[in-house]
Amino acid sequence: MKSGLLHGNSGMVAFSDGFTSIREEKSKRGPRTIPDNFLEGNRNAWVQLLEESWLRVGWRLLQIRDKRSSTVEDIRKAFEPVKEMPHNSGLAASFYHQTLEPAKPTEVLKIRTRVGDLDAEIISAQAKRDEYFRSCLDADKAMKMAGPDDEGIIREEALSRLQRLLQNASDLRGLESDRETLHRKSVDQTAYVLQSELLDFLRSRRYAVSPRNLGDALAGLPGMKWRQSFERCSDMQFNLPAQEYEVFELLSEICGHLPEETDEHPSELFRAELLKRSRSFGHTRRFLRDNWRDLRLAIDECWKRRVDNSDAFPFVLSSIFIRNARRQKDAREQLLADTEKLAI
């Protein structure tokens, strides 16, 4: 068995829309246009999403990094699996959005500000519509009570109120149409900025491709360039990693310690390496030991498939293991799993 089946270097996990601003973030003195607390919250949301989806998108992003001819179309394809994820928050929607309009961050924020202004105008117009409607109802009641002396005055006022209501309805339709047009423009521009900036980050090869590095780069988009976002976020505190990603990390580390070439079935090699792992992985280490049978079966499936790409192997192995471990087991399978747990 050659090293490609076992040796995972995978960029080895180095840890090396909410905008209200109308100006692109720039490196300058004075107050920052996008607050640190917003960036930190957005960065942690990105990291959580990427960690949970890493087994689906991580390998694709590594391929984009390694292929100089990669395009934004490759970015969209890489994020397609996120659409099908349970509890998808829509955070990554810009990455699988297909309609793009080239724009700079400053332009995106100006359009978003205008959309916000139109929202305020629409709310005001809706309030006036309700007011005008009530006044028309009052005029209708007054007409029914009008006498010969005041019928003309009341009729004229009722007509005036109706005209105001109709004009308001026309204005409101115009505002809503303008708002919808600008909103679509904003969505297309945001998708362009996020997709092109992520492609630039990957092509730069400056940082390892990992959820935390990507989270730092994406947090400030589309309000700033990825380099500014990374610089602002790189020293911020992270939340605890998702279990799926911790499993991937640990299995990637084990892959890196296996022999470069061997014809021996790798399950015993994995077992020995797992038993040697320190307690630094905590719950993940216990999770793998408690589900050793699922991991052994995943290794066996990879062996039979002859997975032979060194970067892809940890992704494939982790995906199969997570699938096995989370599948509902019958009484027989659970008993067998219990008998194969590795001692702590």
Q: From residue 141, how far is each of 158, 160, 210 by CA, in Å?
A: 10, 15, 69
Q: What is the pLDDT of residues 233-285, one digit of tens each?
A: 999 999 989 999 999 999 999 988 887 776 778 899 899 988 887 666 678 88
Contacting residues for 12 by C-beta, under 8 A, at least 6 apart: 208, 252, 253, 256
In a domain, 156, yes or no: no
Q: Report the pLDDT value the prediction gives residue 17, as an integer from 0 to 100.
A: 43
Residue 42 domain flag? no
| pLDDT more than 70, % of the chain | 88
> CA–CA separation, 27 vs 29, rounded Å?
7
156-205 residue pLDDT tens: 999 999 999 999 999 999 999 999 999 999 999 999 999 999 999 999 99
266 located within any domain: yes
Between residues 17 and 217, the one the model is more confident about? 217
Q: How many domains does the chain have?
A: 1
Read off the pLDDT of each residue in 88-109 and give the average, rounded to a whole number: 94
**Beta-carbon contacts of residue 133 (< 8 Å; ≥ 6 apart):** 165
The CA angle 36-38-40, to the nearest 5 degrees, is 65
Residues of the domain holding 309? 243-339
Q: Is residue 129 part of a domain?
A: no
Quote the CA–CA distance of 299 and 268 in Å, as a whole number. 10
Instruction: Tell me the average pLDDT across 279-300.
Output: 88
For a pLDDT cut of 90, what percent of the chain falls above it?
Answer: 71
Say how many C-beta atoms besides its own lie within 10 A of residue 15's C-beta: 11
In a domain, 24, yes or no: no
pLDDT tens digit sequence for 34-92: 889 999 999 999 999 999 999 999 999 999 999 989 999 999 999 999 998 887 889 99
Q: Please report how many Cα atoms fall inside a 13 Å half-sphere around the Cα of residue 115, on the Cβ side.
A: 19
197: in domain: no
The answer to whether position 268 is within a domain reads yes
- Please tell me which residue, 218 or 18, carries the higher pLDDT value: 218
Q: Is the pLDDT of residue 9 over 90?
A: no
Domain contains 331 = yes
Is the pLDDT assigned to residue 5 strictly greater than 60? no
pTM to 2 decimal places: 0.81
Radius of gyration of the chain (CA): 29
